[in-house]
Structure 1
Amino acid sequence: MTMTAAATVNPIVSAPVLATIIRLSLPNMLAMVATAAVAIAETVYVGLLGTGALAGMALVFPIIMLQQMMSAGAMGGGVSSAISRAIGANDDARARSLAYHTVLIALGLGLAITLVMFVFGRPIYSALGGHGEALEQALIYSNVVFLGALTIWLCNLLASIIRGAGNMTVPSSTLLAVAILQVVIGGGLGLGLGPVPRLGMFGIALGQVIAYGIGALIMFRFLRSGACRIVLPVSGVRLRGEHFADILKVGALACVSSFQSVLTVLILTALVARFGHEALAGYGIGSRLEFMLIPFTFAVGVSMVPMVGMAIGAGQPERARRAAWTGGMLAFAITTTIGLLGWLMPSAWAGMFTDNPQVLAAARSYLIWAGPSFGFYGLGLCLYFAAQGAGRVLGPVLAGTARLVSVILGGWWLVATDQPQWMLFALVGLSMVVYGLTTAYAIHITRWGPKRA
């Protein structure tokens, strides 16, 4: 079969939109749920090492999440977008070259993160409030994890290459294996199970590095095997600035969105902390339900990148938009359902974690005021991924800026006028509405595909 004929029967650009979204999303959902479970499991066995270790993990966690968001979501989206557009245009040679350039980007960014965190790790964690044992435990964990940052970047960007080719099963099954390995190896080394010596935070961090290293090797072997439409070259590729730019014009700009998301969370946490430990604990319990939005939204969102990208590359911008709005509405429906369940039964959720009446009251207040807006966050995040597929992310990034500004200005007014706690939680919900609607408007007015003659 010729490559032109193969392109015409590509189901991602020809099969029914909703069915294709569901087919691509389900494997991703399994991997994302497993990743969320790892975060919970890791918190459990770090807690067995003591309060100092748990506090140290809390200091490092925002930076770990930022790296994951940049490598898997932001830069990974840029990679999948560029490759899927090349495949949609039936330009496999360009797709192979983009894959080669992706590996070089992973090498550069992985080593850069290692250098930054070794030099600035202590000042960063001190600025976040770390001191004493908590700071020392944070540095032990951080130094090992970021020494192995290259494995995380390679694993996530190689997965993005495969997703860009339209294969969701291999990356998802590999990341599921990585999640299991991280729990087994990290827990075993950290707690000293069986004959293994108890290495504490060093061992837990080493487990993560080893697991991601194994994941990177699995996906590298798959890309070299010929089983994927893209065979990753290891030599003989001429470096092209335009190919770096095709990835970075989406990925680098999307990294701004990752920074904004983390900064928004840090600001909200600081604002809630003003109301005391009980309010902070209640906010944490309520936001755990919000955290459940990520696996579902990410699963649908990453399926949008190759669907939209291949449609754009194949000269089908109308199908690309139909896929984006269908995926966005699906994510909106799922996340609205989660939010409404929290709004209708806030005590049932909060009661799973505490029986402290003040903490329960704060958690209920958060879910009542923020829960109904969860769907707008899901909508905005899914459309952000669709925009990555189209190579047009400026609008969604500016929507993230609008959300951040609304939190900053609203938070300043709440503090200046000494408003009650419930108004802060209402601000959280309002900021989600701002993000979702602004992203939707940006998608609506942004042209996708080549300009009309």
Structure 2
Amino acid sequence: MITLYNSRKVFAIIKQSLNGEHQDFTSGNISKAVVLLAIPMILELSLESVFAVVDMFFVSKLGKNAIATVGLTESFITLIYSLAIGLSTAATAIVARRIGEKNPRAAAHAGAQSILISTIITIPITIAGIFYASEILALMGADKDVVAEGAIFTQIMLGGSLAIMLLFLINGIFRGAGDASMAMKSLWIASLTNIVLCPLLIHFWGLKGAAIATVIGRSSGVLYQVYHLLKGSGIIKFCKEHFDFDKEIIKSLTNVAWPATFQFLVASGSWIVITRLVAELDGTAASAGYQIAFRNFVFFILPAWGLSNAAATLVGQNLGAKEFERAEQSVLIATKYNSIFTGLVMILFLFFSEPIVRFFSTDEQVIKYGVESLQIIGGGYIFYGIGMVMTSALNGAGDTKMPTVINIICFWVFQIPLAYFLAKGLDMKSYGAIIAVPAAQALIALLSWYYFNKGRWKAIKV
């Protein structure tokens, strides 16, 4: 009877988390609040991670040049992701704070202003991507064959930059409002469209088809988001006047967004350096193996990111409601759950890396590099989970500057020099470069944990 009761209770919580009804996360059981937010966020990002793996599976059938093209392009697109996540972080922090203050109209106004900013920023990026795709691939370390085969893929992907930006940003608005279910549904629409179209369009147009499928998928998710912001019945609903240029709101958004954007640019920039270093030292096979390992890293880290996003929303809303102790406890509970999850993934990567990599490639050289890369990255997986929750919590409080400082120290002062020292100084080549990745993540976890416990984030005003 106890087991049956517990099962019903679990299913009731899952149903409640997915039904999209507004919840007050500033009162009640904290563990339940974490779970209610985390379930749709985990499901949201899980399907995105499923697409990343499915996409790599189909693209891998086109050969190692195609794998390298996708990997190098995605590495460059992380710069766009950084801008999108930075603006999304600001939107989440400010929207959550206004919701915690019981002011949904001000929350909607802040969200609309963030969309104005993101659209203006994305236009020059899109133009550069369309006209300089070949040069971007060459800059990333691609050889002539990869550039010749993959330039059209890169051109289409960068041409769809606005869809990337808005998909991340608007979901950040929904999360800040506590409407994680709506964020989940929009990303599911985008990902499912991708998964359906990807093999079909690859069959007709090869690598070019994969890019078209991705852009169509993301655009469909954005259309769904916009419809519900304008016509939906959720707590956040846009009106025409919300888009009137508001200097004060834009200033507030910018103050939170620029450190957050720089924070993720620092992180993604370091990934680009590592990716280029691997390709430079050991060639296309190593690059392809590393990209397979990286896609699997993304597959499992996105659900952990879902828990981290839950912590950010809870911190923002509870600070708005002046519930400081509740905000702190929410982060500690989310950290506990994330540590358990990432610890299990670490075991999976250490002991089952070969069958995972063989699912994506039959090239023995690619498999060799992929297995060893996945084991190295997986060796520090639990640190990714801890660091993600801590930094997300700080960002959710609007304290985006300290995580940026931590990222600069850990990625550029520590990780990049260590990667070059191990790869070239000790002649460990690509393996040395990859070893620096979990080492930096461990340092991020320790520093962010230390700063979080100091509690200065509780006094941040947004």
Distance 1:368 1:218, change over 3 A: closer
Distance 1:258 1:448, change over 3 A: closer
Among 120, 123, 133, the alignment partner of 1:121 is 133
- For the residues of structure 2 that align with 1:186 and 1:370, how far apart are their CA atoms? 28
- Structure 1: which amino acid aligns with 2:309? V
| Counterpart residue number, 1:412 | 420
- Structure 2: which amino acid aligns with 1:205? A
Are 1:376 and 2:388 an aligned pair? Answer: no
| Counterpart residue number, 2:441 | 432
Distance 1:441 1:356, change over 3 A: same
Aligned partners of 2:53 and 2:295 also within 8 Å: no
- Structure 2: which amino acid aligns with 1:438? L
Aligned partners of 1:12 and 1:307 also within 8 Å: yes
Are 1:149 and 2:158 an aligned pair? Answer: no
Aligned partners of 2:423 and 2:432 also within 8 Å: no
Distance 1:356 1:22, change over 3 A: same
C-alpha offsets along residues 392-434 of structure 1, whole Å, 9 cap, x if unaligned? 0222222222221212222233245425466655433321211
- For the residues of structure 2 that align with 1:437 and 1:14, how far apart are their CA atoms? 30
Are 1:28 and 2:41 an aligned pair? Answer: yes
- Structure 2: which amino acid aligns with 1:60? T
Distance 1:345 1:390, change over 3 A: same
- For the residues of structure 1 that align with 2:251 and 2:355, how far apart are their CA atoms? 49
Are 1:15 and 2:21 an aligned pair? Answer: no
Are 1:95 and 2:107 an aligned pair? Answer: yes
- For the residues of structure 1 that align with 2:97 and 2:459, how far apart are their CA atoms? 12
Are 1:166 and 2:178 an aligned pair? Answer: yes
Distance 1:120 1:279, change over 3 A: closer
Distance 1:423 1:208, change over 3 A: closer
Distance 1:283 1:131, change over 3 A: closer
Are 1:41 and 2:54 an aligned pair? Answer: yes
Are 1:444 and 2:456 an aligned pair? Answer: no
Aligned partners of 2:71 and 2:291 also within 8 Å: no
Q: CA deviation at 1:308?
A: 0.8
Distance 1:229 1:60, change over 3 A: same
Q: CA deviation at 1:350?
A: 5.3
Among 340, 345, 360, the alignment partner of 2:347 is 340
| Counterpart residue number, 2:268 | 262
Distance 1:367 1:146, change over 3 A: closer
Matched residue of 1:12: which SS? coil
- For the residues of structure 1 that align with 2:146 and 2:367, how far apart are their CA atoms? 27
Q: CA deviation at 1:238?
A: 4.2
Matched residue of 2:240: which SS? coil
Q: CA deviation at 1:46?
A: 3.2
Aligned partners of 2:87 and 2:257 also within 8 Å: yes
Distance 1:291 1:217, change over 3 A: closer
Among 146, 151, 164, the alignment partner of 1:139 is 151
Distance 1:344 1:37, change over 3 A: closer
| Counterpart residue number, 2:6 | none
- For the residues of structure 1 that align with 2:313 and 2:433, how far apart are their CA atoms? 38
Among 53, 61, 73, the alignment partner of 1:60 is 73
Q: CA deviation at 1:156?
A: 2.5
Aligned partners of 1:162 and 1:228 also within 8 Å: no
Matched residue of 2:457: which SS? coil
Unpaired segments of 5 or more residues in structure 2? Answer: 1-21
| CA-based RMSD | 3.0
Distance 1:80 1:188, change over 3 A: same
Distance 1:338 1:140, change over 3 A: same
Distance 1:398 1:329, change over 3 A: farther
- For the residues of structure 1 that align with 2:334 and 2:152, how far apart are their CA atoms? 41
Among 380, 397, 405, the alignment partner of 2:404 is 397
Distance 1:252 1:323, change over 3 A: same
Are 1:211 and 2:223 an aligned pair? Answer: no
Matched residue of 1:235: which SS? helix
Aligned partners of 1:312 and 1:448 also within 8 Å: no
Q: CA deviation at 1:286?
A: 4.7
- For the residues of structure 2 that align with 1:270 and 1:146, how far apart are their CA atoms? 19
| Counterpart residue number, 1:388 | 395
| Counterpart residue number, 1:309 | 316
Aligned partners of 1:296 and 1:331 also within 8 Å: no
- For the residues of structure 2 that align with 1:133 and 1:356, how far apart are their CA atoms? 18
Matched residue of 1:391: which SS? coil
- Structure 2: which amino acid aligns with 1:99? G
| Counterpart residue number, 1:5 | none
Aligned partners of 2:190 and 2:220 also within 8 Å: yes
Which stretch shows the higher mean deviation, 332-341 or 235-244? 235-244
Among 318, 324, 336, the alignment partner of 2:325 is 318
Normalised TM-score (structure 2): 0.84
Aligned partners of 1:100 and 1:234 also within 8 Å: no
Distance 1:183 1:359, change over 3 A: closer
Aligned partners of 2:380 and 2:439 also within 8 Å: yes
Which stretch shows the higher mean deviation, 310-319 or 233-242? 233-242
Which stretch shows the higher mean deviation, 304-313 or 397-406? 397-406
Are 1:230 and 2:247 an aligned pair? Answer: no
Distance 1:88 1:256, change over 3 A: same
C-alpha offsets along residues 268-320 of structure 1, whole Å, 9 cap, x if unaligned? 33444535667656655554553343222211111122211111111112211
C-alpha offsets along residues 9-56 of structure 1, whole Å, 9 cap, x if unaligned? 953111222221122111122222221222222233334555554443
Matched residue count: 437
| Counterpart residue number, 1:182 | 194
Matched residue of 1:228: which SS? coil
Normalised TM-score (structure 1): 0.85
Unpaired segments of 5 or more residues in structure 1? Answer: 1-8, 193-198
- Structure 1: which amino acid aligns with 2:388? L
- For the residues of structure 1 that align with 2:50 and 2:238, how far apart are their CA atoms? 32
Matched residue of 1:307: which SS? helix
Distance 1:127 1:390, change over 3 A: same
Distance 1:442 1:145, change over 3 A: same
Aligned partners of 1:165 and 1:229 also within 8 Å: yes
Aligned partners of 2:419 and 2:435 also within 8 Å: no
Distance 1:202 1:340, change over 3 A: closer
Q: CA deviation at 1:240?
A: 2.0
Q: CA deviation at 1:364?
A: 6.0
- For the residues of structure 1 that align with 2:185 and 2:126, how far apart are their CA atoms? 27
